[in-house]
């Protein structure tokens, strides 16, 4: 990822986090945080990684709510970021927490055997 893409990605991540806390009032999005963002080099697409502090059976509902709010999010970001092109937003559940828990469990099993 280029320096510009990283910088724009950081700005987008901060703006979405603010919007989730202040302007988006969907109860399905309570306990959602943004863990990272990957921008394409042309700044036309962004993959936004999210983590939920709720149970994992609500993942589909959270993704539906975020996709439904993506138009509003893009509109609000356009007002504050002043980019030439507003990137397409794609929300993805961040698997790193589950992955690290699985590795930790395997290491504990090895340690106790």
Question: What domains are there in the chain, each with its CATH number?
Answer: 3-112 (3.30.300.20)
Q: Is the pLDDT of residue 109 over 90?
A: no
Q: What is the pLDDT of residues 47-77, one digit of tens each?
A: 999 988 765 558 888 899 999 999 999 999 9
43-70 as b/e: b if 16+ CB within 10 A: beebbbbbbbeeeeeeeeebbebbeebb
pTM for the full model? Answer: 0.80
Confidence label for 113 from pLDDT (cuts 50, 70 and 90): confident
Confidence label for 8 from pLDDT (cuts 50, 70 and 90): very high
Q: What is the pLDDT of residues 22-32, one digit of tens each?
A: 888 888 888 88
């Amino acid at each position: 990822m280029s320096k510009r893409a990283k910088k724009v990605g950081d700005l987008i991540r901060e703006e979405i986090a603010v919007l989730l806390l202040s302007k988006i009032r969907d109860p399905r999005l309570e306990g959602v945080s943004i863990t990272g963002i990957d921008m394409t080099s042309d700044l036309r697409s962004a993959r936004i990684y999210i983590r939920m502090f709720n149970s994992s059976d609500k993942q589909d509902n959270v993704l539906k709510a975020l996709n439904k709010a993506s138009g509003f999010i893009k509109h609000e970001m356009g007002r504050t970021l002043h980019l030439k092109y507003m990137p397409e937003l794609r929300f993805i559940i961040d698997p790193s927490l589950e992955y690290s828990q699985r590795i930790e469990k395997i290491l504990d099993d090895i340690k106790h055997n």
